[in-house]
Chains A and B, each alone.
Chain A
Amino acid sequence: MSTINALKIIDKGDYALVEFDLKGEKVNKLSGPVMEQLRQVTDELKKSNYKAVVLKSKKNKIFIAGADIEEIQGIKDKTECKDLLISAHNIFNAWEDLPMPTIAAIDGACLGGGCEWALAFDYRIATLDKSTRIGLPEVKLGIFPGFGGCIRLPRMIGIQAALDIILAGKSVVAKKAAKLGLVDEAVPKEILDQRVELFIKDITMGKKSKRQKKFKPRGKMAAVLESFLGRGVVFSQAKKMVLKQSKGFYPAPLKALDVVKKAFGQSRAKAQEIEMNAFCEVAVTDVSKNLINVFYLLEAVKKKTGVSSDIKPKKISHLGVLGAGVMGGGIAQLAADKNFPVRMKDISNEALAIGYKQASDIWSKKLKRRRITKHDYQKKMSLIGSGLDYSGFKKMDVVIEAVVEDMKIKKLVIADTVKNCKDDAIIATNTSSLSVTEMSEAHPKPENFVGMHFFNPVHMMPLVEVIRGAKTSDEATATIFDLSKKMGKTPVVVKDGPGFLVNRLLLPWMSEALFLLEDGMSIKTLDRFFTHKFGMPMGPCRLLDEVGLDTSIKVLKIFQNSLGERIQVSALADKIKSTDRLGKKNSKGFYKYDERGKDIEADESMYKDLGISSSRSDSLSQEECIERGIYQMINEAARALIEDKIVETAGELDLAMIMGTGFPPFRGGLLRYADQVGIKKIVESLDGYHKKLGIRFEPSQALRDMAANDKTFY
């Protein structure tokens, strides 16, 4: 193994200071070479006469970010996995067994493997800096703590608190960590060194020594739950929670729970053996590989600018929003939440009031949950201004248009807005279905016009489609891409075209639900197949309700016009149109809703309205239902990616689907899923459905070519 120089021992007289500084990287991580060096450093310290050892990071805002994810991604089989773990355990065990007390001086992120190393110290001091977070996010990557975290954490902070962190992949700030007993002190960043010196003084004077910190429950209730008998209750409750949240799709948290349960109270060697074996099982699963791929896609966005040239985004200090409805109000709320001063413009004070209410409701909820203070609430509210005219628009750097989905009106509004803004203001449209290129004709400088498609509800949905019209400039694209990130969203650049990317792919699936109902499926069974068997957050019927039945059907018809006969619409669509069912917005759709808008149950009276029998046969197989929905999406995705080049890479397409529709991350994305199923098999199935059910299943040329040449999307 190559030798690197990431860890440096500095002789401080009484004690050794170990500095961690991984050269050529922004963050410290525990890669193979680093672990090898750590082994040598540990050996050296073991032989030394230092009275104490202190570990510090030289990186800004990072203590240790974790293990090297690429190495985890690269693990192919269980033997290879176990070798790696045995070596890691030996190193951490040796560190734990050093003859002198050890102190981790934690400033910045201390996560995953980094946290697990910190657990092998005698003492931990963390700073109150915002960047300092300590935790074990492994389950988010489809694995769980494998460097002893499942063993040392429960012992240190108790089973309940440990499960809370491990199973949800949580991290905590220093103050909370101190409360949990995860660190010994939470101190202001500026005096970290002073406190460390005091600890060392205590050690040299014999007041502090080697120890193995053990959790002592506070209060009777905690004592009972941590006791041998109480543990059973804790574990079974945790299991219920995990099953509910993961719907059984994510094996890692369950495995982790099992490890904590079995390893608790065992000898170190035995406990580590249990952890290793279980870890190796999950590390090689597709779920883990897929989740790691999604993590990479997200990391990539952070570095991207949205354009291929090196044009820089413009600085944005003031935002305008046209329309204070659900989308406009939502955008204004989000902007203010991220500290942008924002102004809404609408045609009546009553319309503006709705925008304010939406924002206030979101923050009031956070206030109630103590996520923000009343001062934060007031500060955020005061960032939102409003008016019936263009007051203040001369200062706007970006204006986001969110008025009604009507090309004529939008064009009028855009032309009007341009006249009231400074020359170089960028105008973005939040349209979900209209052509950005056509709309840009209303702008005298179409290069400053771009699409910025948020999804509803704006504060929850992480995706923004940044849509380049035919004349949109790199600068406008980069600016909106950057703004999306600053608003906490994941942007994906797409080309103009019907439904852009996400809606174009989603709609055939939603549309297929109507055909499946025609064929005898019930709303409940159909939606359940997609949620509980495939992993979508909502079934297609529930999603039709969410979007609005009128809107969905309207957009479907638009698609039919622009994409041609391959977009087939079930006869049930017209039946729905003839009823007063609008979906969730009037609490009348495929589902019944309570007054707070929560779905109660499938509305059985829907069948009658659709003119189909209310006794449902549910005769189609789960496989057929899922294939008819998902394969159509894949077919459309191949057209969008390869034929129409709506999006540049398969990765961006997958990211957009995961962030925009909640496509199950454990499947790695739509195209990753297609690759795993096999393109040939998909084409064969589609051919079959094409013959049996209609042209909507006809495989695209792109997909056929891939099948013929044995190609994959990745």
Chain B
Amino acid sequence: MSRNVVIVDGLRTPFAKAGTDLKTIHPAVLGQKALSELIAKTNLDTELVDEVIIGNTGSPSDSVNIGRVVALRSGVPLKTSAYTVHRNCASALESVTSGYEKIKSGTMDVVLVGGTESMSQLPLLFSAKFQDIFGEFAFAKTLGKRLGALKKLKLAHLKPRISVVEGLTDPFAGINMGQTAEILAKEFGITREQQDTFAARSHNLAVEAQKKGAFKEEITPMFVPPKFKKVIHQDIGPRDGQSVEKLAKLKPYFDRKYGSITVGNACPLTDGAAMLLLMEEEKAKSLGYQPLARIKGYAFAGLEPERMGLGPVYSTPIALKRAGLELKDMDLIELNEAFAAQVLACNKAFASDEFCQSKLGLSKAMGEVDMDKLNVNGGAIALGHPVGATGTRLVLTVAKALKAQKKKYGLATLCIGGGQGGAMVVENMNV
């Protein structure tokens, strides 16, 4: 008998732009909060958990296997294995697919998956030259040698390497993520105005969703230490009354002269965590759970790093094929909004016979993406994109939205820095 993998339930922290409300909170704490609240919400007997898999890209130096830290602090037993996965922007989709595979294969029955990221806490690094001098100083045995080492130090050596900038630069193509979006904007002829319109749409939909409480089911509040004066219970990003006019005032960030990508039509650096409880379907039922959704299939696929934004277009057809479905079967789509230009380029590519034939080897275009189905509660431009947590957030959000709207199939897909795409197809179990 074939085994089905279901999402019993999920929960996430609110997402907050880096450097704002959640900046003081360590990513392990963000992850722990989301995970322990999920465990409570599902009244899960943690003795049953076979494994914990957590996505994270920042690898905080004080919690290098952050998955294990999150698991233990959340009350998962000592005996239970836990690890961290890294697939850049899709780290928290990788955790879901890893859990899926282990359950599907019959190796495991109950897996906790998710991701956590504090982009606020990505460190500044010392330059290589400074490290050399510091090493010489630290190991010097005499005062003279110490002073000698210090004498070599120049002000320029103190200039830090900013790890978040380095992390967002593709080491293969040698360009920044924003620049990859600039390439797509130009190649696909996506105008500044189109991008700003899409960005404003993201904000307006997100604000509307917040007002009608669409995220209530998926967010657990964060209590902000050490004063605990603030309780963050919804995403900080969405701006009420965001408009094309306001966005038009921003200057291009990555290509100041000919570019169209601004900080307003790109997603912000973000802090947040998201978690899912995965189980084998029969196991879930035997424990009395009414699961949220069934995972129908997934795929990761690669492409040119400098066009990484098109990743969803490469991964989606494979995921759909594995699920035995087509793009038109999808009732709701969560396509991560790294950049407005990148989302709009994907839409064009989905609908293009030529692109689908030449690049993907399909017989014809996958089809138009119906804007009424796409990111119906807004996306990362408004909500934010904590890289190590977004993959799980997309799956969670689409599953919750399917349930709320009583729709059947949903697609969660995203582009991945380094030139990959990830996609997952889920089926609502509450219709």
Contact = CB atoms under 8 A, between A and B. Distances in A.
Given A349-B221, A385-B36, A387-B37, A394 B228 contact: no
A333 to B, nearest CB: 13
B231 A392 contact: no
B64 interface: no
Interface string A345-376: 00001101110110010001000000000000
Contacts of A330: none
A563 to B, nearest CB: 41
Contacts of A356: 223, 225, 228
A382 B32 contact: yes
A676 interface: no
A140 interface: no
Interface string A579-616: 00000000000000000000000000000000000000
A253 interface: no
B43 A392 contact: yes
A395 interface: yes
Given A382-B29, A392-B43, A395-B43, A354 B228 contact: yes
Contacts of B36: 382, 385
Contacts of B33: 382
Contact of B231 (A353, A382, A383): A353
A124 interface: no
Interface string A377-401: 0110111011100011111000000
A349 B231 contact: yes
B249 interface: no
Given A353-B223, A385-B36, A378 B228 contact: no
A210 B226 CA distance: 56
Given A343-B40, A349-B233, A378 B73 contact: yes
Contacts of B231: 349-350, 352-353
A352 B32 CA distance: 17
B223 A392 contact: no
A341 interface: yes
Contacts of A385: 36-37, 40
B227 interface: yes
Contact of B43 (A349, A357, A394): A394
B37 A391 contact: yes
B256 interface: no
A393 B43 CA distance: 7
A378 B223 contact: no
Interface in A253-300: none
Interface in B206-244: 221, 223, 225-231, 233
A386 B221 CA distance: 9
B166 interface: no
A165 to B, nearest CB: 35
Given A378-B29, A391-B37, A392-B40, A357 B74 contact: no
A378 B75 CA distance: 13
B39 interface: yes
A394 B73 CA distance: 20
Contacts of B32: 382
B372 interface: no
B328 interface: no
Contact of B40 (A352, A364, A378, A391): A391
A364 B225 CA distance: 11
B373 interface: no
A395 B45 contact: yes
A631 B86 CA distance: 72
B29 A392 contact: no
A378 B223 CA distance: 14
Interface-centre pick from B73, B226, B228 (highest chain A CB count, 10 A): B228
A354 B228 CA distance: 7
B227 A357 contact: yes
B41 A391 contact: yes
Contacts of A381: 29, 225
Nearest to A318: B75
Given A379-B73, A387-B37, A364 B226 contact: yes
B221 to A, nearest CB: 5
Contact of B226 (A354, A360, A391, A394): A360
Nearest to B224: A353
Contacts of A360: 225-226, 228
Contacts of B74: 382
A63 B87 CA distance: 56
Nearest to B41: A391
Nearest to B26: A378
Contacts of B221: 349
A239 B74 CA distance: 50
A352 B221 CA distance: 10
A22 B108 CA distance: 53
Interface-centre pick from B39, B45, B223, B227 (highest chain A CB count, 10 A): B223
Interface in A609-633: none
Contacts of A387: 37, 40-41
Given A349-B231, A353-B231, A356-B223, A382 B43 contact: no
B223 A352 contact: yes
Nearest to A357: B228
A393 B221 CA distance: 18
A341 B39 CA distance: 12
Given A349-B233, A382-B32, A382-B74, A392 B39 contact: yes
Contacts of B75: 341, 383
Given A382-B73, A385-B37, A353 B229 contact: yes
A392 B229 CA distance: 25
Interface string A502-525: 000000000000000000000000
A322 to B, nearest CB: 15
B41 to A, nearest CB: 5
A357 B223 CA distance: 9
A360 B36 CA distance: 18
A343 B41 CA distance: 11
A353 B222 CA distance: 9
Contact of A392 (B41, B228, B230): B41
Contacts of A394: 43
Interface in B24-38: 26, 28-29, 32-33, 36-37
Contacts of A395: 40, 43, 45
Interface in A434-480: none
Interface string A106-135: 000000000000000000000000000000
Contacts of B229: 353
Nearest to A383: B75
A364 B228 CA distance: 13
Contacts of B28: 378
B172 to A, nearest CB: 37
Contacts of B40: 343, 385, 387, 391-392, 395
A319 to B, nearest CB: 12
B230 to A, nearest CB: 8
Contacts of B29: 378, 381-382
B34 to A, nearest CB: 11
B132 to A, nearest CB: 31
Contacts of A357: 227-228
A329 to B, nearest CB: 10
A145 to B, nearest CB: 43
A543 B36 CA distance: 40
Interface-centre pick from A382, A391, A393 (highest chain B CB count, 10 A): A382
Interface in A45-77: none
Top 6 nearest A-B pairs (CB, nearest first) are A392-B40, A357-B228, A394-B43, A382-B73, A349-B231, A353-B228
Given A356-B223, A360-B225, 8 more contacts: A349-B233, A352-B223, A352-B231, A353-B229, A391-B37, A391-B40, A391-B43, A394-B43
16 contacts: A343-B40, A349-B223, A352-B223, A353-B228, A353-B230, A356-B223, A356-B225, A356-B228, A382-B29, A382-B36, A382-B74, A385-B37, A385-B40, A386-B223, A387-B41, A391-B43
Interface of A: 341, 343, 349-350, 352-354, 356-357, 360, 364, 378-379, 381-383, 385-387, 391-395
